[in-house]
Structure 1
Amino acid sequence: MKYFAVQYTYSSDADALAAIRPKHREFLASLAGGSLIASGPYVDVEVASALLLFRGETAAEIAALLDEDPFWHASLIVGRSITEWNPVIGVFAG
């Protein structure tokens, strides 16, 4: 399997994000232990954003999973990039 780094950029609507965040985190938690390796927001950044690390076969497979994210359904993710990542050193290196 391959690794994929996903970067989310969130809407600036803090109230809407806070209202849906529990469902968003519940959704991501349901993927943990499967294809989702890790997820979390960046700290001390101007634009609210997060990094998610997945294992899978294709970027399209990861995109299909993330299309079910409650934040995505609510249009609170204004940017999403999915990039294959090749760790060569460290705990994720093959």
Structure 2
Amino acid sequence: MKAESLPFICTMNISTAKPLVDSIFGKVQAGSVLSYQQPPPPSDCVVIHEDAPPLPSVPLEDYYLNPSEYSFVSTHQEQLHLTSLSVTLSQSHLIEEATRC
């Protein structure tokens, strides 16, 4: 059969006005189910772009976070819990020395 006389289901309405993209099955019409459900497998090679802009320096110069503008008021129970977590400097040295291994 000639391509012009094939049923619609066989041709998928492919025309020169619609671009073709790669898929596992070769070139398929852009926007078709095969184009987005069966993309070509990714290549294993790494492509280095010579004309890529340099990476920005981190941290960015002249950048700072504004101080937070919220206040947290803890309940009495929460305050007792937070107080129980505090340690002195000498206690922190003893804990650090005991947990080095």
- Work out whether the TM-score is over 0.5: no
Structure whose alpha-carbon radius of gyration is higher: 2
- Normalized per residue, the structure richer in strand is 1
Report the TM-score when normalising by structure 1. 0.19
Q: Which has the higher contact order (CA 8 A, sep 6+)?
A: 1
